[in-house]
């Protein structure tokens, strides 16, 4: 690890950035340096502009992907290198406002029915039943499941925050059945050995196969199950603040997107056309 990379890594650790964020930032800075075949110390704002243009026009990356690079370069030049130039001139890309795809309750049931492996089904049912990010599901420990209080503890989720979510009675039955067969000791869903959590790649691959086997026309991912969880709660009358807490969102605006998806709310609204006299 070269000196600059080492210093940036140390700066990120001092600021307690998540390991995932650290890896992403280092990867983006390395890509930036490799593009020019120069150390970032020798590059400036105009070079950053050229690189971001390359990501947008030639590599055709999404705004979200480009913004990871922007965040990484802002951190590098502002924190690690301590540059005095206006860091705000490294602009974030405007994100596309796309609504997430969600499944109906019937489609969730149809999808889960296509997952035959008991362990894989338990992972995906947990993701949907508690609205978890897939990384949160795979990092669950046995001790996080509290059947007395009917809660699941999420340790150090996104933003390094702990939270509690509800433990579904149906899910508890599934987890107990899973435990009897697999006998996990520390990690609830272990990988190749009981000492390591299962990789997030496994449930993603299971989703791809189950999407095909289920006959659904929608593409299903673990995150779509999370979106479906939030949407179904909203349609059942759960208030947005509660959904925000359950999802672990820092900003209410992140949760408010589900108001645009919940079809039950739309169905309850009368079109002005229906109020017109007969024509």
Report how far residue 188's alpha carbon sits from residue 196's, in angstroms, rounded to the nearest whole number.
10
74 is catalytic: no
Residue pair 29/81 in contact (Cβ under 8 Å)? The answer is: no
158 is catalytic: yes
Report how far residue 5's alpha carbon sits from residue 208's, in angstroms, rounded to the nearest whole number.
36
Long-range contacts of 112-117 (CB under 8 A, 24+ apart): 112/210, 113/214, 114/210, 114/213, 114/214, 114/215, 115/206, 115/210, 117/206
Catalytic, out of 133, 139, 227, 232 = 133
Which residues, in sequence order, are CB contacts of 231 under 8 Å at separation 6+?
Answer: 102, 258, 261, 262
Catalytic, out of 119, 121, 139, 249 = 249
226 is catalytic: yes
What is the bridge-based pairing of β-strands 151-157 and 161-166? antiparallel
Catalytic, out of 25, 128, 190, 258 = 258
180, two tokens? 């009897």
Comparing CA positions, the residue from 185, 153, 152, 190 lying closest to residue 171 is 152
Alpha-helical runs (H) found in the chain: 3-14, 19-36, 45-57, 63-75, 105-113, 118-130, 134-138, 169-182, 201-214, 222-235, 240-247, 252-256, 263-267
Catalytic, out of 121, 226, 227, 232 = 226
The crossing angle, in degrees rounded to 10, of helices 118-130 and 201-214 is 90
- The torsion angles phi and psi of 201, rounded to 5 degrees, stand at -65, -30
13 is catalytic: no
Catalytic, out of 158, 170, 176, 217 = 158
163 is catalytic: no
Catalytic, out of 5, 153, 163, 223 = 223
Provide the annotated active-site residues. Answer: 133, 158, 223, 226, 249, 258
């Amino acid at each position: 690890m070269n000196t600059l990379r080492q210093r940036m890594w140390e700066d990120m650790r001092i600021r307690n950035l998540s390991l995932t964020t650290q890896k992403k930032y280092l990867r983006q800075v390395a890509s930036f340096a490799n593009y020019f075949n120069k150390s970032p110390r020798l590059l400036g704002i105009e070079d950053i502009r050229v690189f971001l243009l390359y990501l947008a026009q030639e590599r055709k990356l999404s705004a979200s992907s480009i913004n990871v690079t922007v965040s990484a370069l802002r951190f590098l030049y502002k924190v690690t290198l301590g540059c005095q130039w206006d860091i705000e001139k490294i602009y974030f890309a405007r994100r596309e406002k796309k609504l997430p795809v969600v499944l109906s309750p019937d489609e969730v049931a149809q999808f889960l029915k296509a997952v035959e492996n008991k362990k894989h089904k338990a992972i995906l049912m947990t993701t949907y039943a508690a609205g978890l990010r897939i990384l949160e599901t795979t990092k669950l420990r046995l001790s996080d499941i509290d059947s007395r209080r009917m809660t699941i503890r999420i340790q150090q989720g996104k933003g390094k925050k702990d939270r509690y979510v509800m433990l579904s009675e149906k899910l508890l039955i599934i987890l107990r059945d899973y435990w009897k067969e697999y006998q996990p000791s520390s990690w609830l869903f272990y990988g190749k050995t009981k000492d390591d959590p299962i990789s997030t790649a496994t449930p993603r691959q299971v989703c791809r196969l189950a999407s095909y086997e289920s006959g659904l026309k929608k593409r299903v991912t673990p995150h779509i199950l999370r979106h479906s969880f939030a949407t179904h709660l909203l349609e059942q009358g759960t208030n947005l603040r509660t959904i925000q807490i359950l999802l672990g969102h820092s900003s209410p605006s992140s949760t408010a997107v589900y108001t645009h998806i919940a079809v039950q709310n739309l169905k309850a609204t009368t079109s002005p056309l229906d109020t017109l006299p007969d024509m």
